[in-house]
Structure 1
Amino acid sequence: MSQISTVRFIINPVSGTRSKTDVAACIKLNLDHTKLTHDIVYTEYAGHATELAAAAAAENINLVVAVGGDGTVNEVAKGLLHTNTALGILPKGSGNGLARHLKLPLNLTNAIKAINTGQVSQIDSGTINDVPFFTTAGIGFDAYISSVFAGNKRRGLKTYVELVLKEVRNYKHLPVKVWINEQQLDTDCFVMAFANAAQYGNNAYIAPFADIRDGLLDVCLVRQLDFMKALNLSYCMLTKQLANVQSAEYFKTTGVRIETEEPMMYHADGEYKGKTTQFEVKMNPLSLKVLIPN
């Protein structure tokens, strides 16, 4: 890892269950100080991690490590897009979607030790209405669940599944116009997921064959959802399989444009972003440097 010599850790002190003192002590104990110099900064408000990451890139820091959940990782990564500074991750969230896709250790001590020997790679990123995402974005039901989940004090896969089962019968599909691969689809939409990485997090695979370096989006369209389709889709997500054609349709593309009659909710990396009637989803190939296990 000769190209990495300076590391800045950006810690979200309210993410996860460990205190910031524990993380700082663990970094001091397990980082290889013969190879790496480091410092630690803490986020103070929403969006602060992006500012801190951009400042680190401007200082030519080699590696910026996001310490937190998927929201923190997204914020830090946004500040590092199209720079020479690589993103590292110490996962402390409930989902850890990007960390899992990159096969990073989920244990804090092991994740720090992996920094000592890691190597820099490049991955794609996407945007939905100019909002960057690195694992998944989506419109419809998964965005609705993101909005509900954000206000829930309980985290984790069990809570997420309970919310889905509770809300799925009340959420209605809506008509949409979709332009994809030079084709127009007039269709119903219960959920449309745009995957750069294979999973939402928690090993729930919405697009099990997504390649984070191929310059393509894997799109999963669920037109309508009844109880049996929901069971099939849930089972396939948890067993890393494609759902059957009656439950979902899959596309690979470089971009998607969508128009809706009624405003639909959307999310980026699980963070609810609001409602609108027009969506444009694009790929930015190999736009982010990341540190991966050697």
Structure 2
Amino acid sequence: MRTNIHFIVNPIAGKGKNELSEALLETYFPKTEFSVSIKKTKFVQHASALTKTSIEEGAQIIVACGGDGTINEVASCLVNTAVILGILPMGSGNGLASNLKIPKNVKKALAIIKTQKVIAIDTGTINDKPFFSNTGVGFDAHVIADFEESTTRQLFSYVKSTLRTLKNYHYKNLVELKYNETTELISPFLLFISNSNEMGYKMSLTPRASLQDGLLDVVVVPKLSNFKLFLFAILFFFKKHHWLKEVRFKQVTALEIKSLDGSILKAQKDGELFFPKNPEIEILIHPKNLNVCVL
């Protein structure tokens, strides 16, 4: 019986103009062994709709071809199923793919999918919406908001967004955090929750995070002086942010964040803006409920 494999391609991810030819795929997935389908996204959340259709069509492997946003849409439909996720990194950051050591070179990534070596990884949810790499409340969400307005999705654009946000970011929210039977009040500069050890562009706030340890790694950064904000940004780019004594690290299975003034907190998940519907956010880990093709 032939393996049914579907490719969900985001043509405008990363630098755009992403193509995946049938001729190239046939060199890795011959018709005698595989039934191959290529589908292209045309709008936001189209990848989710295409993935659901592929599941109904009996796809055994569904390959997300794009960035972390595309991967999130596809993978969100595959959690708690037997369908395997493949990844062709075509985005700007590619944080999850990098953590899984899946190369940007299309031919090398296709070779990984062909071997069908599969592992089960943890996934997270923020208010029941899945994320696979990271989520966050505060500064990183505001950086993403600025970054989404960029015409180019490159590392330099991300750096510019970070510096612009650092200059203009004002925060007054007092939030209640609950984790590991602890409750604390904090006015956070940053609450970053990660399942993966990379954010994309080889940058990381949580270098010790693992996709298979059943834990989320949390970085808590309180309100800082302007000088320490600048210092934090510089240290982060050199992966030395842990040198700042105000930066705290936690490992949790669940985290509750509640805005005490009733305002809706701006968040991000897997590099896309996310707006919770109420002032309370619940973030959970779900151990090893997604099957992924890896090296």
TM-score (norm 1): 0.91
How many Å apart are 1:228 and its aligned residue? 4.7
Mapping of residues 1-294 of structure 1, within 5 Å: 5-17=3-15, 19-20=17-18, 22-25=19-22, 27-28=24-25, 30-33=27-30, 35-173=33-171, 174-230=173-229, 232-241=231-240, 243-260=242-259, 261=261, 262-274=263-275, 276-293=278-295
Give distance in 2, aligned partners of 1:287 and 1:167. 35
How many Å apart are 1:257 and its aligned residue? 0.6
How many Å apart are 1:50 and its aligned residue? 1.2
> What is the identity percentage for the equivalent residue pairs of Structure 1 and Structure 2?
33
User: 2:3, 2:60 within 8 Å by CA — same for their partners in 1?
Assistant: yes
User: 1:136, 1:196 within 8 Å by CA — same for their partners in 2?
Assistant: yes
Unpaired runs of 5+ in structure 1?
Answer: none
How many Å apart are 1:92 and its aligned residue? 0.8
> Partner amino acid for 1:177?
E
Q: What is the DSSP-based 3-state SS (H/G/I as helix, E as strand, rest coil) of the residue aligned with 1:172?
A: coil
User: 1:221, 1:249 within 8 Å by CA — same for their partners in 2?
Assistant: yes
User: 2:2, 2:35 within 8 Å by CA — same for their partners in 1?
Assistant: no
> Partner amino acid for 1:27?
L
Q: What is the DSSP-based 3-state SS (H/G/I as helix, E as strand, rest coil) of the residue aligned with 1:143?
A: helix
Q: What is the DSSP-based 3-state SS (H/G/I as helix, E as strand, rest coil) of the residue aligned with 1:186?
A: strand
How many Å apart are 1:157 and its aligned residue? 1.6
**Number of residue pairs matched by the alignment:** 290
Distance 1:139 1:231, change over 3 A: same
How many Å apart are 1:30 and its aligned residue? 4.2
How many Å apart are 1:29 and its aligned residue? 5.7
Give distance in 2, aligned partners of 1:135 and 1:244. 24
Report runs of 4+ in structure 1 exceeding 6 Å deviation.
Answer: none
Q: What is the DSSP-based 3-state SS (H/G/I as helix, E as strand, rest coil) of the residue aligned with 1:125?
A: strand
Q: What is the DSSP-based 3-state SS (H/G/I as helix, E as strand, rest coil) of the residue aligned with 1:113?
A: helix
How many Å apart are 1:247 and its aligned residue? 3.8
How many Å apart are 1:109 and its aligned residue? 2.1
Distance 1:108 1:233, change over 3 A: farther
How many Å apart are 1:195 and its aligned residue? 0.2
Unpaired runs of 5+ in structure 2?
Answer: none
User: 1:137, 1:268 within 8 Å by CA — same for their partners in 2?
Assistant: yes
Which moves more between the two structures, 226-235 or 31-40? 226-235
Give distance in 1, aligned partners of 2:139 and 2:156. 18
User: 1:233, 1:247 within 8 Å by CA — same for their partners in 2?
Assistant: no
How many Å apart are 1:258 and its aligned residue? 1.1
Q: What is the DSSP-based 3-state SS (H/G/I as helix, E as strand, rest coil) of the residue aligned with 2:167?
A: coil
> Partner amino acid for 1:6?
N
Give distance in 2, aligned partners of 1:40 and 1:185. 49
Write the deviation string for residues 35-67 of structure 1: whole angstroms up to 9, x where unpaired.
433111112222121122223233332210011
